[in-house]
Every structure is written in structure tokens, then in C-alpha cells.
Chain A
Amino acid sequence: MFSLLCAAQNPDPRAAQDYIEKAYTLCQRAREGAKPALYTEASGALDRALELFPGNYEALKLRVAVLLGLHDFSEALRRAKELNKKVPDDIAVRGYLVDAEMALGDYEEAEKEAQWILDLRRGSTLGFEKAAALREAFGDPEGAIEFYNEALLRTPAGEKAERAGLMTRNARLQMAAENAAKAKELLEMALAADPGSQDALAGLAALAASQGNYTEAVGLSRKRVEQSPGAGNTYDLAVMLERSGQAAEAEKEYLAFETMARAEMGKTLNSNRELVFYYADYRKDAAQALAIAAKEAEKRHDSATLDAWAWALYRSGKVAEGRTQMDRALAPGVRDKGYLCHALQIATTMHDLAAIERFGNACSDSRAITK
């Protein structure tokens, strides 16, 4: 039956493979250059490949990666589950499950899948990488750093973008732990490995801002926009400009951001989270912020989404509801200073002394760290 599957179902296997390879390359470029439009192009190539070779496993797998790139997490999860049922030993698919479940806020299921990866392929890079992300989500940055280091040790020197990604994630944790020197070292190593790394540039900008060096932060943020002029990058630039005191320039970039972000509001890949904070904090339009945040929260319940919703509720005067959602956001254990800063402000408004004590000085530098 397998020989039939190989030969008869595919009138032109070479052509199908060409489309799969094209899609793979597009995905890589999309990921490395933060150019999401390339995912759409990759999706088209996969459509063609699957027309030529229905059921091709490689194409179906890549389809899940594309869906994740496009932030269509529900559909990615559905398809990854189908593939996992067919080939449960495939840890790449289990990795997709982790990504989708984390994005949707199902940390318990994500943890189960990550544990499967660690058990199925002991010492695998993928297992350490996914477990590190979960440790971060569970509020164990030291444990996450340990696993990012393990993953980095196992990633060949030739896989530059992957290495840069791991170093950047590690650097963000170092930054949060106020190990600025280590963070800088890692980010510079990441950029050396992958000069086009948007995440590394963002990390360096955040690091500069956290040290009060807004000129450098603005410069780096502007470079990101030049390389990849999307809504998210434009928002970050606007924030840096605002914090550096360049109000007029910031306003210009914020307006540009608003236009771009509103255009993609209905898409899966959007900047709605940034839009929530833009309306809530910059435009002081809490109603807009809340409408967007509530809609996002209908789709996913990860800590970042719930934090944005909680903040929009708080800014709308719905403090108790904001507190409820903030508690949900923090429930997995995450210790992101941005979320904790929001939690602190909500607790302060509610005169919750215990919570105020618990969240300490979380607001000392929230915006630089929150992502």
C-alpha cells in the first residue's frame, strides 16, 4: 500500500517537492527577517504542493509551521493534533503542539507535550528549547536560562538563526534579572551570528532603554523599522521616541502604527496587543483598548493576552474585573515585570497591601522589559 501511495497518488512528485522546498525557504526567511507576508506566500506554495501530492506528510507538517507563523494558533493546534495522532514519535510536531498550546494559554497541555519531547529524545535541542519557554512561563527564569544554555550547546554553529534566537531569549531573561552585561554579551553574539536578527536588535534597544540610553534605543528601533517596517516594530520605535522625549516624532510613528495595526486587526497575525496599550496608555481611549482586548481574549488565554485585557479593564475603571483577569494571567507563575507592574497598579488602586508587597518594585522599568 505504501508503494502505491508513493507512486500512484503523485503524478509529479518532483514538482510537489519543489513547492515544498520553496515553502520551507519562505518560512525560514519569514522567521529570520520577521517578514510575515512570506508565510502567506509559503502557504500558497504548500497549497500547490498538496494539490500535486495530496496527503504529503512533509507538506502537512510545514503547513502547521506556516499557521504558527501566521499566529493562527487554533488551526495550527487542530492540524498538529491530527499529525501527532498519525506519527506520535515526531517531536517536531510535538514542538508545534507546545507552541500552539502556549499561545492559546493551555500551559498544562503544553507542559505534557514538552515532557514527551524530553522523554522521547533525551537531550534534544527542541526539548530543551520548549521546556525553557515553559519554565519562563512558569516563573522560573533561572531554570529557563539553564535550558536555553543546554539548547545552545546542542545547536550546531552552522544554524546561525537558531543560535541567535536562543541567545536572544536567554538575553531577555538576563536583562530581567538585571544582568545587563551578560544580556549585552549575548545579544551582540546573537547579532554576530545572525546580523539580520530582529529579535536581537529589539533586545539591544530594550537593554539600552533600561539603562536610560534612549538615543541608542531609538537608533536601534529605527533600524528595525527600516529592515522590517511592520506595525509591531513601528510601535516599539514610537515608544522609544516617546520615552526619549521626542513627542512629535513619537506621535508621527504612533499614527503610522495605528494605521497599520488597525488594517490587520481582523487577521490572525496582528498587533492587537500593542494596539490595546496604545489606546489605553497613549491615546487614553480605554473603551477602544477594552474592545480590542476583549475580542483577543475570546480567542486565546495566554498570560500576555490576559495581561492586556486586565490592563484595558483597569484603564476602563473596571478594576475588580481587571484584577480577576490579572490573577488569571499570573496563575501559571510568570514573573514578567511588565505584567507584575500592571498587577501592582491594580493592587494599589484596590488598596490590597498584601499584593502591593508581593509585587514590590515591579514598575521600576516595565516597558523596557515587557514584550
Chain B
Amino acid sequence: MRKVKAIICLMLTWFLAAPPVGFAASHREAPITALDQKADITDFFAFVSYEDPTKVTFILNVDPFLEPGNGPNYFPFDDTILYSINIDNNNTALPAVQFQVQFTTTINAPGVFTGFVGAGAGINAPANSPPPVAPGTPIIPPAITALSGAGAAGLSLSQTYTVSMVQNGVTTPLTNSNAAPLYAVPANVGPRTMPNYPALAAQGIYTLNNGIKIFAGTVDDPFYIDLGATFDSLNFRTAAGGGVLSAAADANDNVNTASDTVSGYNVNTIAIQVPITMLTGTGTLLPSTSTAATIGAWGTTSRPRTTVRRAPLPSASSGSFSQIQRMGNPLINELIIGTGSKDTWSMSQPVNDSQFASFDLDPLLARVLNAIYGIAIPTPPRTDLLPLVTYAPPIAAPGTPAGPIADMLRLNTGVAPTPMASRKRLGLLAGDAAGFPNGRRVSDDVADIALRAVAGILAGAQFNYRLGDGVNTNDVPYQETFPYVAWAQSGRQRRHIDPGEAGCTMGTGAACPTN
């Protein structure tokens, strides 16, 4: 017991010098999701679609650090999880619109030892094939070029999914416009099995009723961060300014001065593009100055729950699912909520977030930054962080009802998307009005933004420090069209760009610094 006590004290001491858990994105940030990887939400994005400003794209990423070569079963979605994207459009922090996704796994070839197999036009048994398999008998199916039908014989395992919209308590199934099943895109096994993976993955983009687009499958993890340095008690690389970036490094959104720990890893994604008219409370497109233009959004994962009472006795639960995790802003549970409350936070509804207000008003991370870097931080209570958890300018138009304190991504649907050439990794902090914390795009550097927000940048220019980890961009380019994330990295060809390795920026340029 003494040993345990000593360890606890040591751990508490450590917390003084480091954020309690995951940083910015949410890989394994709470005890319950550390034990339930399939339900672990890594990131949640919501932004006005680049190529169609009449639509908003939501992306829910789950199941972190998928090593692309990790066969033979790779990374199916969990059939027992209810994946949900929730939208508040009346400033109540309650879901006015929900999109719910559930998967069904089919084993197409139960005798085959791997989930995905294929090569060329197929390989048959050779002339010296021992009996009873006759020469010429098909052994390896043709390469996988389709999600179903011809070209899909090598999909020993496949997943279909359903998507529903819930509004005013009414659940409406959303079906493929051609009535065909919706298939999840499998992992990118490698060039022999899947010779044209981009073409295969693109088949997983479906147009549903009402102009909604959806995609589900394994993709490149769009998040980027020097996770190793972060967890080493904020031991950022000297080459990256040791946590305070040089002006030049900070200004260059396209060059990394530290290694991206998430490089070469995949993640499972559910992306859905929805007409704004289906999202706003008025059912119309609105200018950014409208008090009804800003929506709140968050993702959740839920599993069937065990209830105290059995059916048909009255149930204690409001539904048959128990929420495992939620994510709105990419920093709240990770950087603000204490470890002893993280699971309760994960399982609570945003509308009830006032119970966690004590964490928001004096975040420990701010004091950590103050202690490590000696920087001045705002004096608590930290009301400067309110725009992240209420409807407030500069995201929402002046006059927008603030609503309760609730962790949701706020997105002003009236703000036009920023063209790629003008997009800033620091989003709103760099004057890019369409970036985090006005929603969140896949390219937004939420690690650096979060650090700066916690350090007090929203409280005034005197708290503006160039805090950052030195990772300014992803290891592979994003797409400019739906679903915006890069396709899954190849199991055979993937590369993790580690400290000391050449090509720190997208595999090119200078080596990643070791120290």
C-alpha cells in the first residue's frame, strides 16, 4: 500500500508538469476509452464544405493508431456500437438533428484466413498442385477493385452500414439514392491486393436522399502532433523552439520541425456532408451575421447497455444505449477535465456540462504552461474560454443566445470556406475565419491552437505566445473534396516518420530532429 501511495504521489506530481492525458485530438484520453479502442473517438470535425458552401461536412474519427499493415483482420467498425453525429440548432445544447450509423459485418469466405486477398486476375492452382485440388482451380481471387460484385471476390470480410436521421424524436432511414447497400471502405492492404486503392475507396462515397453524401471506412489519420514530446512532460524538440516556436517556424504552415507521431497511421472515419438547410433551425441558408447561423455539433459512440431493470419492467434508461464517449471541441476532456471525472464527462450530455465548470475556470494546463515556460497567464476565472463552450462572438453573431455551457464545436454556417491557398493552420487565431474554433477542418492545427487558447490568447494580445509542438502539417496531403481526409495508407508501403528520419515534411525535406 505504501508503494501504491508513493506511486500516486509521484503521478500527481507528474500531472503538475504535464497535461493529464491525450493532447488536442483524443486518442485514449479517458480511462473508459483507453479500454475500449473501437469506441474511442479520436477527432471530430465540422466545417462548411470547401467545394460546396451550401453544405456542412461532419467527420467522426474513431479507433486510433491503426497500423496499416496490421492484418489479417484489419480494422472493421464495431457492429455493436452506435455512432452518432449530433447537432444543436436552437442554442439549447440538445440534439435537434442526429445522424446515426450502425454497421453489419459479413464473413463472405469463412474458410479464408485473411480479411482481404487478391492478385492480378487471380491465381490458379499450378500444374504440380497435389490432389484433391486440381490444377487450374482458382486459389487466389482477382485483385480487389470493387466493394461489391465483380472485383470484390477477395473481400473475405465486408461491412455494410445504415444511416438514419433523428429529428423531433422521429427516425428516418437515409438510403442510397440507387437503393444499393452502403459499404464501408476496407483498409488499404497493399498494391497487389488493391492495385488502385483510390479508385476503390472512392466507390465508398454515396449520395443519399436529400443530397446528403456519406463515406465510412479506414483512412489516413488526419491529425498531426509530436505526441512523444508532448507526453514527455512537454519536452518539445529544441529545433521546434522547445515549445515556443520561432517566428519563421510558426509562420510556415507547410514545414515540420518535429516528427508527426501519427504519421503512417490510419483511423476509421465516418464522414457525412449535409445541406445546411437541413441543419439550421430556420431550415434556410443564413448569413454569418444571423443569430441563427451558428450550430453546435458533437460526435458520440454508444454501446448497448445493461440496465438495472429488466424488460418488461420499466427501464431506468432513456434508451437502449449507453454513451461511451463524446467529442465536440478537441481539447476539453483531454486538457481540462481531471482524470477522476473523465469517464463521467465522456458519458454525460453537453447540456449538463456546468457540473464540470470548476475545471474550466482554472485549467491545470494553464498553470503547467505558466510553470514550465514562465509565461503570464490570465487570472481565473477563465471566462476567456467561454467562446469555446457557449454561443459567443467571434464565432456566433452578436446577439446569439449563449445557451448553457456545453462542449460542442460551434460552427457559423454563414462563414464561407477559405480557399486552400489562404487557409491557415492556426484558423481563427490567424485570421482565417473558417478555421477552428469556428468549427474544425481536418488541416487545423488544434494542438497549437489549444495550447495558445489555454495560455490565454483569447483573453488578449498580452497572452499571445507562439506555443507549438513544431508539427505544422500532416504527413500526407488532404483531399480538397469530400471526404477531405487522405485515403488509407498502404499496409505494405506505409512509413512512420520518426525522430532522426529524413523527410520530416510529408516525407521530403530535412530530417526530423531528434532533440
Contacts and interface: CB of A to CB of B under 8 A. Distances in A.
B340 A115 contact: no
Given A21-B1, A89-B342, A89-B344, A2 B313 contact: no
Interface residues of A, number: 36
Contacts of A116: 344
A131 interface: yes
Contacts of A13: 5
Interface in A1-54: 1-3, 5-7, 13-14, 17, 20-21
A138 B306 contact: no
A89 B34 CA distance: 14
Contacts of A138: 309, 313
Interface string A104-128: 0000000110111011111100010
B341 A2 contact: no
A166 B309 CA distance: 19
A162 interface: no
Contacts of B31: 89
Contact of A118 (B32, B305, B341, B343): B305
Interface stretch (B9-17, B153-161, B243-251, B462-470): B9-17
B311 to A, nearest CB: 10
B367 interface: yes
Interface in B299-314: 303, 305-310, 313
Nearest to A56: B5
Interface string B1-25: 1100100110011011000000000
A140 B305 contact: no
A6 B340 contact: no
A86 B339 CA distance: 11
Choose among A7, A114, A115 the residue with the greatest number of B CB atoms under 10 Å from its CB: A115
Interface string B295-331: 0000000010111111001001100001100000000
B308 A119 contact: no
Contacts of B341: 87-89
B278 interface: no
B347 interface: yes
Contacts of B16: 1-3
A2 B317 contact: no
Given A114-B308, A120-B32, A140-B309, A86 B367 contact: no
A87 B340 contact: yes
B347 A111 contact: no
A135 interface: yes
Contacts of B343: 88-89, 120
Contacts of A75: none
Given A17-B1, A119-B305, A5 B313 contact: no
B155 to A, nearest CB: 31
Given A2-B16, A119-B305, A119-B322, A111 B9 contact: no
B139 to A, nearest CB: 42
Contacts of A333: 313
A90 interface: yes
Interface in B337-356: 339-344, 347
Nearest to A86: B340
A336 B478 CA distance: 65
A134 interface: yes
Contacts of A14: 2
Interface in A129-160: 131, 134-135, 138, 140, 143, 146
B363 to A, nearest CB: 12
A3 B344 CA distance: 25
A112 B316 contact: yes
A120 B344 contact: yes
Contact of A17 (B2, B317, B347): B2
A90 B342 CA distance: 11
A88 B394 CA distance: 33
A17 to B, nearest CB: 6
Given A89-B340, A119-B322, 17 more contacts: A5-B12, A6-B8, A6-B9, A86-B340, A87-B341, A88-B340, A88-B343, A88-B344, A89-B31, A111-B316, A118-B306, A119-B305, A120-B32, A120-B343, A120-B344, A143-B310, A143-B313
15 contacts: A1-B367, A2-B13, A3-B13, A6-B13, A7-B9, A88-B340, A89-B340, A89-B341, A89-B342, A123-B306, A131-B306, A135-B310, A140-B309, A140-B313, A143-B310
Interface of B: 1-2, 5, 8-9, 12-13, 15-16, 31-32, 303, 305-310, 313, 316-317, 322-323, 339-344, 347, 367
